[in-house]
């Protein structure tokens, strides 16, 4: 983490449908992977990767009226696009000067690599963590992890029958 410095550029982001766009001055303050259950659900993903920006270095450049806000009982607020549902802004009451933004929405560099993890003990056993992958025969564009540490239950693998038939 560093103190805010003079702007070295701008990083732009947008939601899936393009109704909402925003930008931050780079470098961002920091970036991290958030494995907490709340972020997992809010993103519908194994974990969320955020870029933290000082609020004063963050600007909504398009579609302010399309943003909907959900305030949780724990003092956090999550804003998302009312048209396409993309998560946009994650705010925490204890950090009023910061906004946390999904890294995936940025098209370019943000000046920070996500070197940190929050809630790593919540990493899901089904999350992909870089195991070697090989092409799946007969399914162009599909790769898979040939061996598993844990035995999968039958019916867990939609390609199981297809492989046996090959």
**Which residues of the shown chain bind Zn ion in the complex (CB under 5 A)?**
15, 17, 19, 81, 83-84
Between 84 and 166, CB nearer to Zn ion: 84
User: Smallest gap, in angstroms, from Cβ of residue 101 to Zn ion?
Assistant: 14
Tokens standing for 5?
A: 């410095």
Name the residue whose CB lies closest to Zn ion.
81
Contacts of 79 (CB under 8 A, 6+ apart): 67, 68, 69, 70, 87, 88, 89, 90, 91
Tokens standing for 71?
A: 């305030």
Between 52 and 63, CB nearer to Zn ion: 63
Between 77 and 118, CB nearer to Zn ion: 77
User: Smallest gap, in angstroms, from Cβ of residue 156 to Zn ion?
Assistant: 33
User: Smallest gap, in angstroms, from Cβ of residue 102 to Zn ion?
Assistant: 12
SS3 state at 33? strand
Instruction: Report whether 91 contacts 52 (CB < 8 A).
Output: no
Between 70 and 139, CB nearer to Zn ion: 70
Distance CA 128, CA 16 (A): 23
User: Smallest gap, in angstroms, from Cβ of residue 85 to Zn ion?
Assistant: 7
- Across the chain, how many H-helices and E-strands are there? 2, 12
């Amino acid at each position: 983490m560093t103190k805010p410095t003079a702007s070295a550029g701008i990083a732009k982001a947008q939601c899936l449908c393009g109704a909402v766009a925003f930008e931050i001055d780079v470098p961002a303050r920091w970036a991290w992977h958030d494995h907490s259950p709340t972020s997992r659900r809010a993103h519908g993903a194994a974990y969320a990767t955020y870029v933290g920006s000082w609020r004063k270095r963050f600007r909504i450049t398009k579609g302010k009226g399309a943003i909907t806000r959900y305030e949780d009982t724990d003092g956090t607020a999550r804003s998302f696009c009312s048209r396409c549902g993309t998560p946009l802004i994650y705010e925490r009451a204890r950090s009023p000067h910061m906004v946390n933004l999904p890294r995936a929405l940025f098209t370019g560099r943000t000046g920070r690599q996500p070197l940190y993890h929050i809630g790593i003990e919540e990493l899901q056993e089904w999350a992909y963590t870089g195991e070697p992958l090989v092409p799946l025969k007969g399914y162009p564009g599909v790769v898979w992890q040939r061996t598993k540490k844990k035995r999968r239950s039958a019916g867990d693998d939609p390609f199981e029958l297809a492989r046996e038939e090959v």
